[in-house]
Amino acid sequence: MKKVLIYKGFERFWHWTQSVLIIFLAITGFEIHGSFSFFGFENAVKYHNIAAVILIVLIIFAIFWHFTTGEWRQYLPTFENLRGQINFYLLGIFKGSPHPFKKTTLSKLNPLQRLTYLGLKLLVIPVMVTTGLLYLYYRYPQNTKIEALNIDSLAPIAILHTIGAFLLVAFIIAHLYLITTGESVTSNLNAMITGYENLHDEHNTEERSVNTENISESRV
Amino acid sequence: MKNILTGLLLFLIIVITGFLLLNTADTPKTTEALLTKYQEKRVTKADHSGFAQLNKKFNSPQEVTRECITCHNKRDEQVMNSSHWNWEREEYVPGKGIVYLGKKNAINNFCIAVGESELSCDKCHIGFEPAGTQRKFTDAENIDCLVCHDNSGTYSKGANMGGLPDPKLDLSEVAKSVGRPGRDNCGSCHFFGGGGNNVKHGDLEKSMLAPGSDIDVHMGTDKADMSCVDCHKTTDHKMAGKMYTLSSMNTDRSYCEDCHTSSPHENTVINEHSLKVACQTCHIPVYAKENYTKVFWDWSTAGKLKNGKPYIEEDSAGNDTYMSIKGSFIWKKNLEPEYIWFNGTATHYVSGEEIKDTTRPLVLNRLYGSYDDPDAKIVPVKIHRAKQPFDPVNRYLIQPKLFAQSIGEGALWKDFNWKEAAAKGMEYVNLPFSGEVSFLNTEMYLPVNHMVSKKEDALKCTDCHTRDNGRLAKLTGFYLPGRDYSGVVETAGAGLITLTLLGVLGHLGMRIYSSRKNRNAKV
């Protein structure tokens, strides 16, 4: 075991800022949606719009960071060991089996995480940003008098935005829970706060698949 | 430490960029400047009290008019081109083409039509048509200059005199006082439309002669103290701003934006509302603030007599609830307007038009507009509902003869006989009458433009952006954030979150349970 810097400074800053913003957007967003009243409608709209712009700027920085550091490769999907990961959450975890996936700095996301985060990055977040911007500016193309640019109804925009919001809230709930399923209950949380986590030595990575396959046998 | 500093710096950059991007609103034109402008006292350009030609005894009001025209020549032609004089306008109506529309031929939802009742109705015409003369609208001498320009506050038209002034008046004194029309000039007719104070409009009534700014922020004598013609700007006797009870075209209007610009708010989101929402919608949260306005008029009950005599019933607030001559009424005060889409064009029911569908109320002035119409905005309206006499055979509204000088001429208000009054009235407008009188539900839409409240009293977001019972609850067919949602998405979303929560809790429970079991097994 070795203490390794797994989440760099910007990554942690990006993660926490994004999490605060998304939770804040969810609260203000569902108030605008009419689900409850907390800040007051006018404030909710104002705060939601400001937080949205900050989040978009943050996303632009994050995209830049991912490409310049090559970290985007962390999200390349793999189906290898996907079943193993699912089995672990469904069965292994209750039996005290070891994690099927061994984190390394080059591959720090398990196959399920890779798929989920890729889905967020390629689908949910782009849909939220696009529908969010359309929500704010959909009326303006009408001034150009170009028929094709006219958006006649806010309904599809707003409803897509709502679907995305429900998905994100469900994601946050699952995510908050799943961070307790690391090596210890707090190890994942600690890693995202301090950046450091105790990882198995790099040369163990090659044995990863062997390990997974051996789980059931080792428990017998 | 270095990381924290870089993080903080980045955070600041992001926050500042965010605010800069959002703060692109136009600088609002300050209402303070407008307030100062209108609070300045106007100086009269010419003092007519010094003019010798007005300092004499006038035997008839026509003599005064002649005197006016000697100096103000050509003004008579302007007046005779105005709708105030002609009681009609040339209008283009989609589906109808060019029509001439006005009090002459439109049916209103109050006293129905002018018809043969000129002697009474003409007290709100800017002319003199004394008994026996045929109304021609061609004689410049019959223009009533004084009713609009009297500044002595004494001028008034006589009752049932066909527009002639009260004979007791000293016309010379009135003539010497003339000047810019004040609220009492406009108000002498427009506050009493429909046959009494505030009957018709709800937002135009005698309290507007000297209201507080809590009733009307523009006309409030403690604030801007503006008069009617400050907004209804007039050139060559043509006034901006008109009422859609009789207008059809989106022209010659008077807009809030003329003074306040189209982006008067500091909040961009609120300014953007002006694309779809008229200023009046938020800024006139209630109307008929001081006195009651008539919201329902049932002509069908008119004609009941007590001991052979007509009578009047009043409610506790002193409003007429029944009049033998006019029927039954409902009055309301501090009313929330109703809301409709309106693009500035309208069509009107005119005399003799066949009514095909009698199952729904007949709308006497249909205001056009919808969410999909880029020119339409949500506007507040007073909807005056009524039951009007209707010829079920010929399928058009009946214009009864209401007024006459004496009993026996067939007027409803003297003889209380519907059939006779209908026959007389329809004969006058040259329309066949079947002899049957039934009653039809009718509606008239009156946009509410006056009694603008102080900005603190304007509607709040959640007056409309709310799930239930919002101001716009009846205005459907478009997505209103905070009010509308997709039922499917809502159920599916709530289901997804519930399932996630249950899954998480179930998983957690099993983890705790199994870890205990495993621990026990080890021991």
Tell me if B475 is assigned to some domain: yes
> In this complex, is the C-beta atom of A17 within 8 Å of any C-beta atom belonging to chain B?
yes
pLDDT digit string, tens, across residues B291-344: 999 999 999 999 999 999 999 999 999 999 999 999 999 999 999 999 999 999
Q: Taking a contact as any Cβ pair under 8 Å apart, which residues of chain B between 13 and 32 contact chain A?
A: 14-15, 17-19, 21-22
Mutation target among A16, A177, A185, A196 for the B interface, most CBs of B within 10 A: A177
CB contact (8 A) between residue B269 and residue A49: yes
The alpha carbon of residue A208 is apart from the nearest alpha carbon of chain B, in Å, by 24
Write down the pLDDT at residue B129: 78
> In this complex, is the C-beta atom of A33 within 8 Å of any C-beta atom belonging to chain B?
yes
pLDDT digit string, tens, across residues A97-115: 888 888 888 888 999 999 9
Tell me which of A199 and B504 has the higher pLDDT: B504
Which chain A residues contact residue B514 at CB under 8 A? 94-96
> In this complex, is the C-beta atom of B482 within 8 Å of any C-beta atom belonging to chain A?
yes
pLDDT for residue A220 is more than 60: no
Print burial letters for A163-185: b (CB count within 10 Å at least 16), e (below 16): bbbbbbbbbbbbeebbbbbbbee
Work out how many domains chain B is built from and give that number: 1
The alpha carbon of residue B243 is apart from the nearest alpha carbon of chain A, in Å, by 29
Tell me which of A206 and B510 has the higher pLDDT: B510
Q: Taking a contact as any Cβ pair under 8 Å apart, which residues of chain B between 327 and 386 contact chain A?
A: 372, 374
Tell me if B388 is assigned to some domain: no
For the segment B473-493, the average pLDDT, to the nearest whole number, is 95
Which chain B residues contact residue A165 at CB under 8 A? 493
Tell me if B470 is assigned to some domain: yes
> In this complex, is the C-beta atom of A57 within 8 Å of any C-beta atom belonging to chain B?
yes
C-alpha A91: how far from chain center? 24
Tell me if B485 is assigned to some domain: yes
pLDDT for residue B25 is more than 60: no
Tell me if B492 is assigned to some domain: yes
Tell me if B471 is assigned to some domain: yes
Which chain A residues contact residue B271 at CB under 8 A? none
Strand pairing partners for B421? none
Tell me which of B288 and B523 has the higher pLDDT: B288
CB contact (8 A) between residue A34 and residue B465: yes
Which chain B residues contact residue A177 at CB under 8 A? 504, 507-508
Query: How far is residue B19 from each of residues A144, B160, B263, B423, measured CA to CA in Å?
Result: 27, 67, 19, 72
Instruction: Considering only the beta carbons, identify the residue of A33, A34, A170 that sits closest to B497.
Output: A170
Write down the pLDDT at residue A204: 46
pLDDT digit string, tens, across residues A146-191: 666 677 789 999 999 999 999 999 999 999 999 999 888 999 999 9
Tell me if B468 is assigned to some domain: yes
CB contact (8 A) between residue A34 and residue B500: no
Write down the pLDDT at residue B130: 67
Which chain A residues contact residue B21 at CB under 8 A? 53
For every residue of chain A, DSSP letters joined together read -EEEE-S-HHHHHHHHHHHHHHHHHHHHHHHHTTS--SS-HHHHHHHHHHHHHHHHHHHHHHHHHHHHHSGGGGG----TTHHHHHHIIIIIHHHTPPPSS---SS--S-HHHHHHHHHIIIIIHHHHHHHHHHHHHTTGGGGGT-GGG----SHHHHHHHHHHHHHHHHHHHHHHHHGGGSSSTTHHHHHHHHSEEEE--GGGGGGHHHHHHHHHHHH-
> In this complex, is the C-beta atom of A158 within 8 Å of any C-beta atom belonging to chain B?
yes
Tell me which of B38 and B411 has the higher pLDDT: B411
Which chain B residues contact residue A95 at CB under 8 A? 514, 518
pLDDT for residue A208 is more than 50: no
Q: Over chain B, what is the mean pLDDT?
A: 91
Which chain B residues contact residue A134 at CB under 8 A? none
ipTM: 0.87
Contact (Cβ atoms closer than 8 angstroms) between residue B197 and residue B282: no
Instruction: Considering only the beta carbons, identify the residue of A34, A166, A173 that sits closest to B467.
Output: A34
Which chain B residues contact residue A158 at CB under 8 A? 479, 481, 484
Instruction: Considering only the beta carbons, identify the residue of B14, B503, B515 that sits closest to A54.
Output: B14
CB contact (8 A) between residue B482 and residue A57: no
The alpha carbon of residue B80 is apart from the nearest alpha carbon of chain A, in Å, by 41
> Angle B2-22/A9-32 helices, nearest 10 degrees?
30
Instruction: Considering only the beta carbons, identify the residue of B372, B465, B489 that sits closest to A159.
Output: B489
Write down the pLDDT at residue B135: 62
Write down the pLDDT at residue A80: 84
For B484, the domain range is: 461-500
pLDDT for residue B9 is more than 80: no
For the segment B108-123, the average pLDDT, to the nearest whole number, is 88
Instruction: Considering only the beta carbons, identify the residue of B11, B267, B479 that sits closest to A158.
Output: B479
Write down the pLDDT at residue A148: 64
CA-based nearest residue in chain B for residue A155: B479
Write down the pLDDT at residue B29: 55
The alpha carbon of residue B493 is apart from the nearest alpha carbon of chain A, in Å, by 5
What structural domains does chain A harbor?
Answer: 2-219 (1.20.950.20)
Tell me if B494 is assigned to some domain: yes
